[in-house]
Every structure is written in structure tokens, then in C-alpha cells.
Structure 1
Amino acid sequence: MTNAPKAPTPRCIIVRHGQTEWSKSGQYTGLTDLPLTPYGVGQMRRTGESIFKNQFINPDHITYVFTSPLQRARQTVDLVLEGLTEKQKANIKVVVDKDLREWEYGDYEGLLTKDIIELRKSRGLDTERPWNIWRDGCENGETSEEFGLRLSRAIARIQNLHRKHQAANIPSDIMVFAHGHALRYFAGLWFKLGVEKKCETPEELKSVKSYDASEEDVPSVPLKTYRYLNDNPNFLLDAGGIGVLSYAHHSIDEPALALAGAFICPPEEESQHAGVN
């Protein structure tokens, strides 16, 4: 009896929602629940057609879709998956996760960067160094530590699912649909950038059920530590953009960026890198 073919290394495919009126204008869009523009609708429909028609992503390898609860992300999910068969869609668990919502911008909601800089100046802030959202957060919104905590929770759950799928030799692409700052931050934490902090405060230690799936479908992963950023990770992700996160050496303990993007490398080719840094 021959052994079953080795499944490809699991991947986390991040997708920023399509264009909205505020993504087009550059206004900070946190909890303001905007729909996609007509261009954004067509944009994401074309994206879905392209990635599946050209087999950049094999729909039969998608195990989960995690999405922000905001309508611009959920609308993007529907458009990207629109061309799949009903059977293919039925095999994908779609999980709405509040931990994936955009940064809560507080006083900066709806403003442009230049407006935020002027507002902070009028309040006597940033006299010694310029504002850096990754370090300084948002007045009456979220700090970087708060944002990092909830995204760390989301990453822990996804990597735990990947570990289970890999142990069972199941191909596992997990797609994450969210927002510009959220996904750039998510990618930074995936690579273990920033600061690692022990969970100590009640908020950090609290068991949070942020998603609409059962424990059987998505096990919770209690955190002992989490990460947050204190500087710009220098990643770009335009509206409608896609990035691919994976693991080096087939090891869930070695998160990495898949520079080939959505292109699929067959396992037999992928294996040539085993043991190579």
C-alpha cells in the first residue's frame, strides 16, 4: 500500500475588502459600516473569477473563511466565492469574527491623515515626534496593545486549525477577509514582529468568544502571551488586495510570507526547501 500524497503546506490567504467611498478618498474607516462602491463590487467579482479559474487557489482546499462582521468585508466574501459550486461552498465553513474588525479609530473616524495630524497638533500632541498609529493608537479609540490582543487571538485560532489539518494530512487554505490596517497588522503579528507581552490584566486574561462558530468547529485557544506592534510594519495592501501567509519547512511553528503569493507550489517542489533557512 502506498502512502497518501503529502498535503501542501497550509496557507492563510488574506483579502482586503473591495473599494468603498472612504477607501477611495483615504478617509479612516473603522466601525462606519460602508458598502462597496459599484467599482468595488466588480473588482471583487473579477478577483474571485481570476483566482479560481486560474487555479491560484484551489477551492477544494479552502477549509475556512474568517471574516470581519462589517458589511464591506462580508460583501467581499460573497463576491469572491460567488462563482463556486454549491457543493464547494458547502464544504467551506464561514466564520464571522469580531476580532477581525478594523482598528477602532475613535476621534479619527472619517478623517484623512493630514486632518488627524492637525487635530493632534491642536491638542498639543506630537511635539517631540510625529504621530505613528502603530505606536500611538487613536484618541478615544483603540491602543495598539488592544488591537494587537484581539488579532493575536484570531491568529492563534487559525494556526491551531492549520496544525490540526496538517496532522491529518488535509490540504488547508484558510481565507481571512478584513481591512487595511487590520490585515497589515495581522501579517506583522504572523511574522512575530513587534513586542511580546505576557497576559496579565483582566482584559488580557479574559476568555472572549468573538466568533459565531461552535467550539467543535473552531476551538478557542487561551493566550498566555500576545504580540502588539510599536512601529509601522511597512506592508501595503490596497483595497481588493490579496496576500498569502504560510509556514517555512512545513512547520506551523515557523510562520512565513509566501512570496509567490496566490500561486501554488506543488508539495514535491515545496519539499526541496526542507531544512533550508
Structure 2
Amino acid sequence: MADLEARTPRVFLARHGETEWAKNGRYTGITDIDLTDNGVNQVSSAAKMLVGEAKLLDPSRLVHVFVSPRKRAVRTYQLLGVGDSPSPEVTEDIAEWDYGDYEGLKVGEIRELRHSKGLDKERPWNVWADGCEGGESMQEVTERLDKLIAKIKNIQEPYFDNDRAGDVLLVAHGLILRCFVKRWLGFPVDFPLEMIFSPGGISVMSYKNGNIKEPGFYIGLSLP
């Protein structure tokens, strides 16, 4: 089983490091804000421990890299030190949820704004289910992530049942990566799966039993 695990392609999810808005709880979608000094340290520390030859994220095993075009994600990719082979695909497919009219606001401010418009009379606003005025809906997020997941599976399928490495890396944002996890597992974006994803953190998705039809995620894994 351990040998099968080692041969099965993985999908690494790297969240960008801390930003000033993230630290203050502000929804940050299209705003191009850079990492704080602490954010740089978060990513650099993770890279030192987890990225490198024979480490958890071995750059020699990567066959594709997707990076959000936002400055904070591009900077995180650079700090991870995985090299430029393969060349990263910088794409809006893995950009953060577009928060539209709620950009830069905190949860309480968004709920007050919606309440003033007579919205959410039955329950409080929830980004997963309700989306954002002037921004993306749950359905729009679902559609772009499903397209990305299909692309990842097409990339990785040739690497099953052989000794070639076939790992993929995504460098992006906290909310969209949590949405990605839900869609990877086949759950709707508003499925109540509570997740914690620290700034600068790295998560690992893969396939159970070495089967591309059984996407899963690691709740614990042994380090190389």
C-alpha cells in the first residue's frame, strides 16, 4: 500500500502567506495586495521544511503548476522555491472568489449592508451559498473549479500505474482552495465542511487506492 501511495499522483494546495487585509479579516478578491513580512516568513518557513528533493513537495515530481495571477499568490510561488520547470500556468481559474461589492469588507459589515437592503431575513448571509452582489455566485465558482479539476485529472491520468511522478501544485487563496477541496471530493461548494487553512500552509489531495475515480485527501501522511 505504501508503494502504491508513493506512485499515486498528488495535488498540492499552497495558500499564500499573510496579507494586511487577511490579518484584519477583510475579504480580499481582486485587490492586488502584497504579503506582509510575516507572510513572507510563513511561506519561507514552510518551504524550508517541506519543499525540496526527497521532501514532502519534491519539485522533481511536479508536472504542472497553476498559480493565481494575484501578486500575493505569485510572490508565494516564488518563495516556495520549486523552480520554473515546469513553467507555472498563471490563470484566473484558481483566482480568489470575486467578492464584487463586498471587496475589502468584513463579515459583519457585509451582513449589515445586506440587512439594509432587506436581504437575508431567514438566515445570515453565507458566502458559500449566497455568493456576492456584483461578484461571483456559487454556481460560477463551481463551474470554473470543475473545469480546473477536469484539466488536472487529464494531466495526471497518464501517470497512474507506472513509476513516473505526476504531481500538480496549485498556489492560490484561502477561500477558493477550500472550495476546490469540496469540489474535488464531489461536495457542493456550500456543503458544511468546516476547514482551517493557515496562511502559508500546504495541503495534499490525491486518489484513494491509486484510482483516479476515487479522489480523496490526506488527513495525515508520513513524511519522506
* Alignment TM-score, normalising by the size of structure 1: 0.75
Note if 1:236 corresponds to 2:196. Answer: yes
Question: 2:51 touches 2:80 (CA, 8 Å); kept in 1?
Answer: no
Amino acid at match of 2:79: L
Q: Residue 65 of structure 1 corresponds to which residue in structure 2?
A: 65
Counterpart of 2:139?
145
- Output aligned runs, 1:1-277, within 5 Å: 8-52=7-51, 55-81=55-81, 89-166=83-160, 169-194=163-188, 229-261=189-221, 263-264=223-224
CA distance in 2: counterparts of 1:149 and 1:259, whole angstroms: 26
* Distance across 2 between alignment mates of 1:8 and 1:48: 22
Shift of 1:261: 4.9
Assess if the C-alpha contact under 8 Å between 2:114 and 2:120 holds in 1. yes
Give the residue type in structure 2 aligned to 1:41.
V
Alpha-carbon distance between aligned partners in 1 of 2:49 and 2:182, rounded to the nearest angstrom:
27
Quote the Cα distance in structure 1 between the aligned partners of 2:223 and 2:124.
Answer: 39
1:181-215 Cα shifts (integer Å, max 9, x gaps): 10000000000002xxxxxxxxxxxxxxxxxxxxx
Q: TM-score, normalised by structure 2?
A: 0.92
Amino acid at match of 1:175: L
How many matched pairs? 220
Residue identity opposite 1:106 in structure 2: G
8 Å CA contact 1:184, 1:233 repeated in 2: no
**What is the distance in 1 between the residues matched to 2:70 and 2:161?**
33
Shift of 1:168: 5.1
Task: Call closer, same or farther: CA 1:73–1:58 in 2, change over 3 Å.
Answer: same
Classify the secondary structure of the residue corresponding to 1:29.
coil
Q: In 2, are the aligned partners of 1:15 and 1:240 still within 8 Å (CA)? A: yes
Give the whole-Å Cα distance in 1 for the aligned partners of 2:186 and 2:35.
32
| RMSD over equivalenced CA pairs, Å | 1.8
Structure 1 runs not aligned, ≥5 long: 195-228, 265-277
Which SS does the other structure have where 1:114 is aligned?
A: helix
Q: Any idea what SS the aligned residue of 1:125 has?
A: coil
Q: CA deviation at 1:92?
A: 2.5
Q: Which has the larger radius of gyration?
A: 1
User: Letter of the aligned partner of 2:113 in structure 1?
Assistant: L
Q: Alpha-carbon deviations, 1:124-153, whole Å to 9, x = none?
A: 111111211111101111100001111111
Letter in 1 for 2:206: S
1:248-271 Cα deviation digits (max 9, x unpaired): 01001100011225835xxxxxxx
Work out whether residues 155 and 190 of structure 1, in 8 Å CA contact, stay in contact via their aligned partners in 2.
Answer: yes
* Matches of 1:77 and 1:241, distance apart in 2: 12
| Counterpart amino acid of residue 248 in structure 1 | K
One-letter amino acid of the structure 2 residue matched with residue 44 of structure 1: V
Q: 1:105: Cα distance to partner? A: 0.4
